[in-house]
A = this chain, B = another copy of it.
């Protein structure tokens, strides 16, 4: 009988899908009953916590639930303890985080037992590469939510505040507690009073949600906007200018987080312009912030045009400075040694700088991973990075443990993600790009979470129908949804990054993207007069003898920057993981892979696998049409189509380009290219000309 009823429900129930445009993100909470929140204290943050609980409650109708701010040494920072009956935390923000945890579990079906949840990193920051004119560097989801152009650009409107509040709520719901509001390629104007007033307004909206504001600053600010003759960090006037500026900022924004600095990198000014070193510059600014509790995040993304291996340079430059930085300086290091490529080994600075605080910088915006067009779930890439073993303090010295305070007693622990957020209705351009924002927050909170759990949570929160008021109906539908939607779509997400690696840059290839826009393939690009280390041929080194960048001991020896046994492991072509093969080795086209295939054939099969995977993703998505509201369904479907076209272009372009050197046929069981190389290159050149 029960079975019959069940089928009856399945047949007659339908997924009454509400129109959704993705603006609600993973916060589609809608209560099914009431909750009696017991809380002795009152504050802006606690008010939010109570409201969220009441508006989203899916627990027992009429239940009583206590929010208790009380010190507990088991609970760290803004961590919290949850149970069926309530939340306990050291801070009000901890309570708020606990509320989001309770709601998440109610909606995902995860059990709510007594459990303490502590954050992995103290500072969990989104870096917005937003320009003061409203554009976003490497932004693919519209204009900035913080800045805009025009004569009223600095006027703060009600609409601004509403949007910032929505943004803050989304951040808080996943534990993000900091936001750098402007581009690392920073305008000096950010520190003018007009801009600071706007920052103050933003900070006020963000504050109840526990989000500190930070600013990326231009090292030459004292001379450019301060009217000083120099920005030399040893100049007393300059020091004073920064101290005064800090004082001004903190008078406006008492909980201001600090500065992010890109110095002496890709044309940005820095201490080296004045004959000083990175520590000279960082410490001078740190000293100015110190009295107010501010920090300096100083980027290690530096490389001069003349070094024979760009991948070596951050390490070369910064290792010399280990121990020379103030304790409120954190060196911010990109996950890989080059630049947010689809796959890189970890940057050897992680774990190696033992006397300096180091924080990872991840890129949430998919600059090199298909931007807002490709469906690429980045959690797997970040987990691969965080779990990489540096061996710096013996086996198990993962990047995660080297940066979260488990191994080194950093004064501050932090992690940053370059945001993928803009004015697009759905915030991120691609509905699935929201998952990367979500994943960054979740991993910053807990770097032990699995990609699978994060995808599972996000899908349930973001796509699971919540409309039915009938609990039995909802349960029946849930079984079907889990099987037919959750399972295949989650698997697609988990496979998506490897697919992108395959159709873009497999086997350790890197930096072979199209110039400027970084979207399509461009392994051929290398005009005269351009910095060699900005051109793909510098990285792939393809010729008739073979392909790959020789970073072995007989090559650039970049692998010597890794702790043993990694250096030796990478050095030996037989033990070097094939995913990094061409990152570390230049190998002949007929090099025999573990699969017994030649390198050339293996390369072909990787590109092919990538393309076919996207075709598979299209099938996965089309099959779940009935479980998704029409607007999001159509948008994802359309983007997957574009992704497929682009994957085919990547495959064709790279294989046909490299085939000029390998002079071998593409294995005949592989789907044939549909482009001619000369047309691809011609179109690429035209694209570049149009841009000039």
Binding site for B on A (CB under 8 A): 615, 618-619, 622-623, 625, 638, 640-642, 644-645, 648, 665-666, 668-669, 671-676
Name A623's closest neighbour in chain B (CB-CB).
B668
Q: Which residues of B contact A640 (CB under 8 A)?
A: 672
Q: A672 to B625, Cβ gap below 8 A? A: no
Q: Which residues of B contact A645 (CB under 8 A)?
A: 674-675
| B666 engages A615 (CB within 8 Å) | no
B672–A644 touching, CB < 8 Å: yes
Q: A622-B668, A640-B672, A641-B675 are in contact. List 7 more A-B contacts (CB 8 A).
A: A615-B672, A619-B668, A622-B672, A638-B676, A641-B674, A644-B674, A648-B674
- Cβ–Cβ < 8 Å partners of A665 in chain B: 622, 625
C-alpha gap A676/B666 in the complex (Å): 30
Q: A644 to B671, alpha carbons, bound, how many Å?
A: 11
A258 to B642, CA, bound (A): 56
Cα-based distance from A592 to B619 in the complex (angstroms): 25
Shortest CB-to-CB span from A674 to chain B, Å, is: 5
Residues on B with C-beta less than 8 A from A666 are: 622
A608 shortest CB reach to chain B, Å: 12
Complex alpha-carbon distance, A648 and B673, angstroms:
13
Which chain B positions have C-beta within 8 A of A648? 674
Which residue from chain B places its CB closest to the CB of A638 in the assembled complex?
Answer: B676
> Which residues of chain B have C-beta atoms less than 8 A from A674's C-beta?
618, 641-642, 644-645, 648
CB distance from A462 to the nearest CB of B (A): 22
Q: Please name all residues of chain B whose beta carbon is closer than 8 Å to the beta carbon of A671 when the two chains form the complex.
A: 615
Cβ of A669: which chain B residues have Cβ within 8 Å of it?
Answer: 619
A641 touches which one: B619, B642, B676 (CB < 8 A)? Answer: B676
B641 touches A672 (CB 8 A): yes
State in angstroms the CA–CA spacing of A674 and B617 once bound together: 12
Taking CB atoms, residues of chain B closer than 8 Å to A644 are 672, 674
Instruction: Chain B residues near A672: list those with CB within 8 A.
Output: 615, 618-619, 622, 640-641, 644
Question: Which residues on the B side are within 8 Å of A625 (C-beta)?
Answer: 665
The 26 sampled A-B contact pairs (Cβ below 8 Å) are A615-B671, A615-B672, A618-B672, A618-B674, A619-B668, A619-B669, A619-B672, A622-B665, A622-B666, A622-B668, A622-B672, A623-B668, A625-B665, A638-B676, A640-B672, A641-B672, A641-B673, A641-B674, A641-B675, A641-B676, A642-B674, A644-B672, A644-B674, A645-B674, A645-B675, A648-B674
Q: Across the interface, name the chain B residue whose C-beta is closest to A671.
A: B615
- State how many angstroms separate the Cβ of A105 from the closest Cβ of chain B: 34
Give the most central of A644, A669, A674: most B CB within 10 Å: A674
**In whole angstroms, what is the CA distance A618 to B675 when docked?**
12
Listed from nearest, the 10 A-B pairs whose CB atoms lie closest are A618-B672, A644-B674, A641-B674, A638-B676, A645-B674, A623-B668, A619-B668, A622-B672, A615-B671, A619-B672
Taking CB as reference atom, which chain B residue is nearest A676?
A: B638
Closest Cβ neighbor of A634 among chain B residues: B676
What B residues does A676 contact at CB under 8 A? Answer: 638, 641
Per the bound structure, the CA–CA distance linking A469 and B672 in Å amounts to 36
A642 CA to B672 CA, complexed, in Å: 12
A626 to B321, CA, bound (A): 60
A625 to chain B: closest residue by CB: B665
Alpha-carbon separation in the docked complex, A642 to B674 (Å): 6
